[in-house]
């Protein structure tokens, strides 16, 4: 009786790692849906980063390279992987950590403690540059002045210049950032929606160089999925900070992220497909437009769109139900307008056959900012222009209230 019962029970099949075929598979890889053991996953992740570095010749022997370190998962994984690969393959590169203190109490002060621990763990030099030191304003003070709407514009512009100035302070001309495939896919989608060709070209380039800055940026994690970065940090037991920025509204980027995550659930390769598509589109952008001031001068590492934020975590609020309601509303509106609107000949059809004069692209002429001396294409750099608006409402001298003796 007992033998018949035991034989009817389903037997559990132990899945083996698709790579080594020996160890038990513990991880379903998000990018390819391969089932891998812990050791193989860590090895494959590191090898892909190494391939990206060697294929694009990111580093040269003897270089000093700054790692933009925020204490979050991306920059912590980047520092860990670069240290491992540098030792394994003898790149001959000296890596240092460069952190920006935006002055956000309860967020950046805590994350900087993580960076300080990372500096000890990875035996790397650490340099911290603060907004208060460079601009006389912390982000807490900026938000108190202007409110939370548009604060990411200030932070993005300030951060980009602060990273460059920190690198110059260290005597370094190359900064690597922890932007991953998800970040780039989101930015590609945002730039396509905005029709921002120069920024589309810059965001897909693994190395970003600008005539407005002597510092080159690169993204070694360009093809690494965010989920795999989290898995790597977890299985390597890395020390990183997880709290999101308290001021980031994530409006536009959050919507792009929500869409991409929905696509990823249906098609795991969607993120990489969008990145590759962005590269293909960027290759079609004329050289004159790549160099022009068309659109915003900020790139992925210093976004200035109102909802771009710093590109860290968080999700959009758009759901399938909201989209369905919107579609129904648009259909109803379209039906109403169809009855009321008369069909008129569009201006483009009226001018059909006439030779159109192509728009001229204005070339940027670089000069030094009249206030801070930083490179800019106008009289004032973006940081000084924003600071000018902030300083208008700040008293020249602090207001002191005398208390009479009783």
The burial class, CB within 10 Å (0-12 / 13-18 / 19+), for 373 is: exposed
287: enclosing H helix or E strand? helix 287-290
For residue 225, what are its two tokens? 């999925």
pLDDT tens sequence across 2-21: 444 444 555 556 799 999 99
pLDDT score, position 296: 39
Share of residues in the chain with pLDDT > 90 (%)? 51
pLDDT score, position 300: 37
Predicted confidence pLDDT, tens digits, the chain (406 residues): 444 444 455 555 679 999 999 999 999 999 999 999 999 999 999 999 999 999 999 999 999 999 999 999 999 999 999 999 999 999 999 999 999 999 999 899 899 999 999 999 999 999 999 999 999 999 999 999 988 888 888 998 999 899 999 999 999 999 999 999 999 999 999 988 888 877 888 889 999 877 667 889 999 999 999 999 999 999 999 999 988 888 876 567 878 888 999 999 999 999 999 999 999 988 887 776 655 543 333 333 334 333 333 544 333 333 334 444 544 555 555 555 555 544 444 444 445 555 555 445 444 566 778 888 777 767 888 889 899 888 887 755 554 445 555 4
Which of 48, 71, 116 has its CA nearest to residue 310?
A: 71
Binding site per annotation, positions:
68-70, 74, 100, 178, 183
The burial class, CB within 10 Å (0-12 / 13-18 / 19+), for 137 is: buried
Distances (CA, A) of 149 to 193, 304, 341: 21, 13, 37
CA angle (147 as vertex; 141, 150 as ends), nearest 5:
105
DSSP states along 9-34: SPPPPPPBPTTTSSSBP-EE-TTT--
- Count CB neighbours of 88 within 10 A: 10
Binding site per annotation, positions for ATP:
68-70, 74, 100, 178, 183
Q: Where are the alpha helices (DSSP H) in 303-350?
A: 320-340, 347-350
Domains of the chain with bracketed CATH: 39-302 (3.40.50.620)
3-state DSSP call for residue 238? coil
pLDDT score, position 321: 44
- Count CB neighbours of 315 within 10 A: 12
Strands 94-101 and 126-130: parallel
pLDDT score, position 308: 34
pLDDT score, position 362: 47
């Amino acid at each position: 009786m007992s033998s018949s019962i035991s034989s009817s029970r389903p037997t559990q099949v132990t899945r083996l790692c698709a790579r080594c075929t020996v160890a038990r598979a513990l991880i379903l890889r998000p990018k390819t849906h391969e089932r891998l053991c812990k050791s193989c996953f860590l090895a494959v992740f590191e090898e892909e980063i190494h391939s990206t570095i060697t294929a694009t010749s990111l580093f040269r022997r003897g270089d000093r390279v700054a790692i933009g370190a925020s204490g979050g998962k991306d920059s912590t994984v980047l520092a860990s992987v670069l240290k491992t690969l540098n030792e394994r393959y003898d790149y001959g590169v000296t890596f240092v950590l460069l952190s920006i203190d935006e002055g956000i109490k309860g967020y950046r002060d805590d994350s900087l403690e993580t960076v300080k621990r990372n500096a000890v763990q990875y035996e790397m030099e650490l340099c911290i540059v603060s907004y208060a030191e460079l601009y006389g304003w912390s982000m807490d003070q900026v938000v108190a002045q202007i409110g939370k709407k548009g604060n990411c514009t200030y932070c993005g512009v300030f951060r980009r210049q602060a990273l460059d100035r920190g690198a110059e302070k260290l005597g370094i001309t190359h900064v690597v950032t922890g932007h991953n495939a998800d970040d780039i896919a989101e930015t590609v989608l945002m730039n396509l929606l905005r029709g921002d060709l120069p920024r589309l070209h810059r965001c897909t380039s693994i190395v970003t160089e600008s005539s407005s800055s002597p510092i080159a940026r690169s993204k070694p994690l360009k093809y690494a999925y965010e989920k795999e970065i989290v898995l790597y940090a977890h299985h390597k037991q890395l020390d990183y900070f997880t709290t999101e920025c308290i001021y980031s509204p994530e409006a536009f980027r959050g919507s792009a992220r929500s869409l991409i995550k929905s696509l990823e659930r249906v098609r795991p390769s969607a993120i990489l497909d969008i990145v590759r598509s962005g590269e293909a589109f960027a290759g079609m952008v004329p050289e004159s437009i790549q160099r022009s001031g068309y659109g915003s001068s900020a790139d992925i590492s210093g976004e200035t769109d109102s909802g771009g934020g710093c590109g860290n975590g968080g999700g959009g609020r758009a759901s399938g139900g909201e989209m369905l309601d919107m579609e129904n509303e648009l259909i109803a509106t379209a039906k109403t307008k169809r009855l009321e609107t008369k069909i008129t000949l569009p201006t483009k059809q009226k001018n059909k056959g006439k030779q159109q004069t192509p728009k001229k692209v204005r070339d940027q002429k670089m000069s030094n900012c009249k206030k801070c001396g930083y490179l800019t294409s106008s009289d004032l750099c973006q940081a000084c222009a924003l600071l000018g608006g902030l300083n208008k409402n700040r008293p020249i001298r602090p207001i002191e209230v005398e208390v009479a003796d009783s």
